[in-house]
């Protein structure tokens, strides 16, 4: 099986695109036509060159936001739990959707289900909105006849993941604003305040202090070439983003991140929380261990952790345990390995994995609080030192002018 990128016109006349696994492009076209779509273009997913991929970089997510997906999942689980059939529940979601984009997507899901397909298959056709984890859990729920309960647990999983992400983002707002204001203050001093002293030295024919002359040149560089520098940084960011899409580069960077002080430890806790919560949710919903590890591999994100999960999967296929190969990789915290080993010994791997996820979530929140407590004074001290240096240069310039006047 290979991955093919496609562009097609759906039944409502809108242009849609995505990635589909198929033996060849002809199968992709046939499947699109069978679903009522008009194929426009199909190509291997890895066919684009680096420059083409850079030019095609998307600046926004074409699918639903995580908050929208969590809201849909919660409402659908409530409707099914109340005894409504799937078609009626989806129609209710279309009628009550808060956004037109959400309504269109749910209508597409409903049309696919009404044509005889499963909900999991309809979700799999929307990879920008629904992850492989989501589709896998729904497929397991449909196979076990417990779709409502599965969606309820899935909604809880999504809400906890979103809460963890929101915690990280909220914690970074204050240090980010502090850094932004500090940089703005320094830029204002260099480009507006310091240049006021240059004419005074020119009028008196006196040499300017070396520190003041350096800061003036630096301020002039920012004033005249700052925009080009900003554009260069944006371009560099896009290049780095595309480089990180390459497995070899991403593996090196991910391993480096795990070795960083403070950040590395926090990243390990985040990975452990994601790994254990995903694994536990899949196992408790009846997904076999090997299949569950395959889904975990696709959602964990860090290439070094993915390699560790692949080694553990090979070990599990051979009948060995899961905790030993994960411990040998030294990616996840030690407590994670102890808890997974306990789950294997007591045949409660799913339940204990979810308990481990709660422990790691708490560790992440504490780690973020500590990181913020370090970042705020570090930024304050650094920017204070820079501003203090600029002010000292100003004072030195004023003293030099006073000496000339005397």
Digit-coded pLDDT (tens) for 54-102: 433 433 445 778 788 888 888 888 888 888 888 888 888 888 888 888 8
Contact in structure between 366 and 262 (CB atoms under 8 Å): no
- Residue 393 · residue 215 · CB < 8 Å: yes
Instruction: Give the pLDDT band of residue 50 (cuts 50, 70, 90).
Output: very low
What is the residue-wise DSSP string for 307-355?
HHHHHHHHHHHTT--SHHHHHHHT-S-HHHHHHHHHHHHTT-HHHHHHH
Angle at 319 between CA 313 and CA 325, to 5 degrees: 45
> pLDDT tens-digit profile of 370-387?
877 787 788 888 888 887
- 344-383 residues labelled b (16+ CB within 10 A) or e (exposed): beeeebbebbbbbbebbbebbbebbeebeeebeeebeeeb
**Across the chain, what does the average pLDDT equal?**
79
Q: Using 50, 70 and 90 to split pLDDT, how confident is the model at 405? A: low
Q: What pTM does this model have?
A: 0.60
Any idea what the Cα angle at residue 350 is, between residues 346 and 351, rounded to 5°? 75
- Please state whether 396 falls in left (phi above 0), alpha (psi between -120 and 50) or beta: alpha
What's the mean pLDDT in 136-161? 80
Distance from C-alpha of 294 to C-alpha of 315, rounded to nearest angstrom: 13
Q: What is the pLDDT of residue 224?
A: 81
Distances (CA, A) of 26 to 22, 171, 211: 9, 49, 69
Backbone angles phi, psi at 331, to 5 degrees: -100, -45
Q: Which residues pair with 94 in a beta bridge?
A: none
What is the distance between the alpha carbons of residues 206 and 201, in angstroms, rounded to a whole number?
Answer: 5
Task: With beta carbons less than 8 A apart as the criterion, state whether 45 and 4 touch.
Answer: yes
Q: Report the DSSP beta bridge partners of residue 21.
A: 3
Query: Among the residues of 244-288, which ranges form H helices?
Result: 247-259, 263-284
Q: Which of 240, 195, 187, 241 has the alpha carbon at shortest distance from 216? A: 195
**pLDDT above 60 (res 368):** yes
156-181: string of b/e by CB count within 10 Å (b at 16+)? bbbbbbeebeeeeeebeeebeeebee
Give the number of other CB atoms < 10 A from CB of residue 77.
22
Q: 343: closest CA among 287, 265, 280?
A: 280
Sheet holding 15-22, edge to edge: 15-22, 2-9, 38-44
At 59 the pLDDT is: 38
Report the greatest alpha carbon distance in the chain.
95
pLDDT value of residue 48: 47
How many Cα atoms occupy the beta-carbon half-sphere of 253 within 13 Å? 12
């Amino acid at each position: 099986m290979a991955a093919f990128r496609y562009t097609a016109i759906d039944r409502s006349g809108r242009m849609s695109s995505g990635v589909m696994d198929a033996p060849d492009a002809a199968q992709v076209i046939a499947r699109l036509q069978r679903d009522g779509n008009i194929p426009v273009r199909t190509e291997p997913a890895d066919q684009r060159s680096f420059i083409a991929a850079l030019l095609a970089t998307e600046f926004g997510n074409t699918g639903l936001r995580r908050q929208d997906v969590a809201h849909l999942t919660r409402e659908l689980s409530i409707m099914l739990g109340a005894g409504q059939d799937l078609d009626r529940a989806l129609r209710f979601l279309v009628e009550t959707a808060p956004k037109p984009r959400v309504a269109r997507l749910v209508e597409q899901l409903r049309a696919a289900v009404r044509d005889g397909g499963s909900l999991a298959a309809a979700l799999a056709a929307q990879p920008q909105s629904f992850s492989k984890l989501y589709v896998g859990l729904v497929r397991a729920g449909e196979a076990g006849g417990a779709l409502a309960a599965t969606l309820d647990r899935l909604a809880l999983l999504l809400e906890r993941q979103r809460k963890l992400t929101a915690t990280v983002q909220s914690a970074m707002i204050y240090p980010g604003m502090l850094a932004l204001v500090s940089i703005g203050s320094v830029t204002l001093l260099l480009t507006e305040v310091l240049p006021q002293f240059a004419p005074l030295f020119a009028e008196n024919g006196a040499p300017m202090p070396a520190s003041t002359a350096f800061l003036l040149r630096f301020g002039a560089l920012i004033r005249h070439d700052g925009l080009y520098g900003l554009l260069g940084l944006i371009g560099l960011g896009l290049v780095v983003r595309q480089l990180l899409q390459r497995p070899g580069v991403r593996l090196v960077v991910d391993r480096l991140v795990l070795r960083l002080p403070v950040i590395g430890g926090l990243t390990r806790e985040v990975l452990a929380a994601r790994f254990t919560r995903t694994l536990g949710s899949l196992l408790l919903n009846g997904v076999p261990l090997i299949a569950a590890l395959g889904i975990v591999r696709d959602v964990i994100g860090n290439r070094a952790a993915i390699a560790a999960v692949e080694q553990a999967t090979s070990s599990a296929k051979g009948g060995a345990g899961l905790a030993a190969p994960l411990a040998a990789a030294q990616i996840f915290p030690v407590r994670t390995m102890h808890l997974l080993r306990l789950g294997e010994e007591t045949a409660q791997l799913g339940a204990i994995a979810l308990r481990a996820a709660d422990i790691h979530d708490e560790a992440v929140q504490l780690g973020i609080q500590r990181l913020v407590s370090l970042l705020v004074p570090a930024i304050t001290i650094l920017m204070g030192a820079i501003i203090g240096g600029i002010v000292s240069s100003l004072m030195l310039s004023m003293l030099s002018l006073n000496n000339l006047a005397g």
